[in-house]
Structures are given as C-alpha cells and as structure tokens.
Chain A
Amino acid sequence: MTTNYRDAAVRHFVDGDTLNRATRHANADQLFGLAAECALKAVMVGLGMQVTKNGAPRDYAHKVHMPELWMAFQSFAEGRLGSRYLEPLSHRNPFDDWRVDQRYWVSSSIGAARAKYHRDAATSCRESMELAVLDGVCR
C-alpha cells in the first residue's frame, strides 16, 4: 500500500462529482469531505508534517478527519511559506457539520445544497494543494 494524498484528493473529488451529477448527494458529500482532507494533508506533508512508513501522520493531532483537520491545518500552516496555502481557505470552518460517520446516516439527510457547499470548500482545499504543487512544495 502506498499513501499518496495528492492523488487521493483528486480521486475523491472527481468521484464525488460523478456521484453528485447522478444526484447521489449523500455519498458525494462524503467524498468531498475526504477530498478536502487529503488535499490539506498533501500540503501538510509538503510543509514537513512527519509521517510513518505507510504515510500516516505521526502526530495524533494530525491523524484526524474533517472538521478537526481544518482547524489543525490553520495552526500548522504558519510562517511565510505555510500562510500561502492558508490564503485560499475561508475563515469559518465549512466542514463544521461534516462527519466521517455520516456514511451511516440515512440518505435523505444529505441534499444537493449541502453537497454543493462542501464541494466549494473542497475546491478551496484543492486550490491550496495546487498552489503547493506549482511551488514545488507538494510533490
């Protein structure tokens, strides 16, 4: 198994879009949250986050999903270099209402508006990652 956050971020995002187009909003929303998580973790690895041999974060505080990862990223991405990748993100945590456990929720609890909201937020995380790719910070 090889962990590659950049690759996974794109995969979850693209698959989320596919499901969204098919009005499968509940699982699309799930994937947008995971896409955002992977994009930010890709940036964090580029900024020096320590990972295990399998690519998992070593620090327990970084071994989290949304919405906790959003906050962890805000503290992690500091300084002249790190703050560049904070800039595309909004101040308010857009994943406040997202849970990795929503995979257990009833389908009707997640509609198009919520999926779009999280898709927009995941797009801003992708922007952060793509800036880091272009800068050579994220491989």
Chain B
Amino acid sequence: MNFNDALGRAADLALARLPELQEDVFLVRDLNGRIRVLLESPEPGIRPQKAFEAALRALAQDVVAALGAYAYPKKELFLFRSELATLALPTPSSAPLLRTDGTHKVCLHDRLLMGAEWSATPPAGTPPTKRYTLFSMKGGVGRSTTTTVLSWHLARKAKATGNGQRVLVLDLDLESPGVGTTLLGQSLPKFGIVDWFVEDALGEGAKILPDMVAESKLQDGTSGRIAVVPAFGTDTKEYLAKLGRAYLERGPNGREPWPERLKRLVAGLEAQETPDVVLLDSRTGLHDTSAAAVLAMGADTLLFAADTRQTWAAYEFLFQHWKHHPHVRAFRTRLWVLGSMVPRKNTQAYVDGLRDQAYSLFLESVYDKVAAGQPPPPDAVGFSATDEEANHFPRAILWDEGLTAFDPLQQWQEAPVQASYGTFLDWFDKVLLSRGGTP
C-alpha cells in the first residue's frame, strides 16, 4: 500500500457499501494524504438504525484494515457534514467522481496546500473584455516575448473605428517578473501587482490602482494603446516582504479565494483603463496563480509547448487531472496549443511531432471519444489529428536569432518579428480575436 493505491482501494470499499449506506459518500484525503469518509449525518434518518450502524462499522473495519497508515483510525474515520456546518463543502455534482453504483456516488474531496485551483470551476459566460492568458509549463520558451509582440501587434491593428486596439498587459509572473520591465524599461508606475495584493488585504487596494499602470513606448507610432501593469513599481521597495503576503486568501472583507481577488483586480483595472484586450502573462508551471489565470478569468489560454519530453510530461500531469474535472467542457475549447521556438530546419517534421503529441494529450483527456454507433453529445468536441482548426493543432512561432536577448524598447526587430510571428498573428486575428467578448 502506498499513496497511489490508497484512494482507489478506499473507493472500492466504499462502493461495496453504497447499497447499505444509501447516500453519496465522499472520501476526504487530508493534507497528509490520510483518508476518511464524509457522510451527511450520524443519524440513520429513514434507514433502519441497526443496518446503518452495521454498515458504518463494516466500512470502518474494511478501510482501516486495508489502508493502514493511509486511513484514519476507526474512531475518527467518519466525518459528518453536520460537524462542518460553517464550510461550503463540495456536492456530488461539483466533485471528482471515483465510483458509482448507478444510484449513489463515491466522490473525492482532496485537501491540498497548493494546487487546488486547477480543479476550480470556471466562470459561466464570457467576460465583457477579451482576455488571453499566456501560459507555459517550462521557462525560456518565449512567453513574455510573445506577450510583447502580441501587444504591439494589437495596438497597430485597426478596429472598425480606425484606431488600434487598447491593450492592457498584466505581469502575473510574480516570482520571476519580466514583461513589465520589457515593455516599460525604467518608466515603471509607482506600484505593481504585488503591492495591490498587500494593500487590498487591508482594504486599501483601490487607492493605488491609478498608480499601477504605465504606457509602453512601444505604442508610439501606433493608433492603439499598450497599458502595462508590472509586478512591481518604482515605490514597491520590500518586494519579498510583499510577495510573501501576496497569496493570502483573505480580502478586505475576510476570506476570499485568491482567484476571486485576482478577478477583482482585473475588473478594477478594466473599468479604469477600458481596454479592448487584456493579456495575462502567467507564471510558469503548475502554480495556483497560473491556475487562476487559466481557469478563473474566462480567458482563452495559449499553452506554450516546445517538443521536449519534460514539456509533455508536465502537460500530461495537468491534462490527466483535467480529465476528471467536472467542468472540463466549460473551458476545454478555450485551450490553444502554441509551438514555440520552432526550428527553421525540418520545420514541418517538428510541427508534425508537436501536433501528434498535443493530439494524444487532448484525445486522452479533454476531447470526446464517441463509441461507434453512439450519437455524440450535443457539445461534443473531437477533432482529427491534422485538423488545423482544432485546439490541439500547434500554431508555430519560429525561432529567430534576431529575437535572442530581444529588447524591444532599444530596437524593434521588425523583420525577425514578422518572420517568427507572422503565421501565429494571422491565426490569432482570424480565430481568437473574433471569438467572444465585446468587439
């Protein structure tokens, strides 16, 4: 028995007792990885008392004997919702399903110190402003450079009014800030995102909002606007002291999940700056703040991928998790694969490799697999590997030496940018910019 085996074993044992328990059962796996059973109430209700008590005793016996250190002792094995009356506990429709006998379910409630946001429910509907999250599993794949190029491209791009787009860029990579300084150089605003989280916890966030935005010189010569909210500003001072408090799940009115706080920040900035497009440069990897940017913002997400084993292994963890996400249908069509740093030699073969890897990832987790002869569900999503409109189909950004150590404020590299990003930007305009949000 180890951590890997314990949950499945406990789920099998709970499944076997469902007919006697006659209710949905939650397995709670605590921060240590120890499992116990959450039921509605210790009262038998409409069930015969003796049979109910016998079922509890038998389940406790089974679980404790099978799981050993991976379960609570018998006396503490059961938790009841009535003991946890102040908490909004998950329901069977909002929790990962482990087993079912067709009438009742065995669900999981996993307690995590970090990472729970990858299971969050995405918001319903489309946000009023178009939002795009740029996410990479590994660093150094050109994510912040792409944010920079995209902001410049959109500022130049004429809308129906004849003006370029008003772009708002947020540097959410708080552990490794980048795009803020790339776009602003020394001309930072007084405060940044890390300051807002600290001030907001004390109810003072609104005061600094006007001092968190600066315009990038990159907008010069365009008819649009590039407004940038960096991670830190000129008056931030104690960055680590603020970063150490930035992820507190407590807002001015008490407990508030971090993604909700981020949503308030972004909505506040959108109201203040009235952008057409918001670009969220996310932190790298499986961090809760990345999950907030990918899931909670109602954004289309660009998933950066270089064709390396470690990239796919990491994406595999995430997509396998999403396979059991109860609301995966709500966000799977907002995930788009980007092939980054694509070599100029054997380009097609490289892109084909990326495509096949991405297809296998999507097919095994978020696409629908419809059995032969069965009608597909009404919102079915399934593509062939080579379908260029598919979410998994990689939009290639070519590697270019001219963009190495790229400092756009010193010298804009028009030719390398076009050569690298031309195909991607065309696709972005045609497909993503025309989707959802206020035009």
Contacts and interface: CB of A to CB of B under 8 A. Distances in A.
| Interface of B: prevailing SS | loop
Nearest to A125: B86
A87 B250 contact: yes
A139 interface: yes
Interface stretch (B46-54, B76-84, B165-173): B76-84
Nearest to B89: A134
A130 B113 contact: no
Contacts of B202: 91
A90 B255 CA distance: 8
B289 to A, nearest CB: 14
Interface stretch (B26-34, B92-100, B306-314, B324-332): B26-34
A102 interface: no
B243 interface: no
Chain A interface bracket (under 10, 10 to 19, 20 to 34, 35 or more)? 20 to 34
Interface string A81-96: 1011011111100000
Contacts of B32: 136
Contacts of B113: 80-81, 84
A87 B34 CA distance: 24
B87 interface: yes
A89 B249 CA distance: 11
A133 B248 contact: no
Contacts of A123: 86
B111 interface: yes
Interface string B228-269: 000000000000000000001110001100000000000000
A59 B32 CA distance: 27
A12 interface: no
A88 B250 CA distance: 7
Contact of B31 (A124, A127, A135): A135
Nearest to B256: A87
A90 B254 CA distance: 5
A139 B87 contact: no
Contacts of B84: 130, 133-134
Chain B interface bracket (under 10, 10 to 19, 20 to 34, 35 or more)? 20 to 34
A126 B83 CA distance: 10
Interface in B95-118: 109, 111, 113-114
Given A81-B113, A91-B202, A134 B250 contact: no
Nearest to B36: A136
Given A130-B84, A136-B30, A136-B31, A86 B79 contact: no
A72 interface: no
A8 to B, nearest CB: 14
* Most chain A CB within a 10 A radius of its CB, from B76, B87, B109: B87
A87 B249 CA distance: 6
Contact of B254 (A10, A84, A88): A88
The 4 nearest A-B residue pairs measured at CB = A136-B30, A127-B86, A87-B250, A87-B255
Interface of A: 10, 80-81, 83-84, 86-91, 123-124, 126-127, 130-131, 133-137, 139
28 contacts: A81-B31, A83-B248, A84-B249, A86-B248, A86-B250, A87-B248, A87-B250, A88-B86, A91-B201, A124-B86, A124-B254, A126-B85, A126-B86, A127-B87, A130-B84, A130-B85, A130-B87, A133-B84, A134-B28, A134-B109, A135-B30, A135-B31, A136-B32, A136-B34, A136-B111, A137-B30, A137-B31, A139-B76
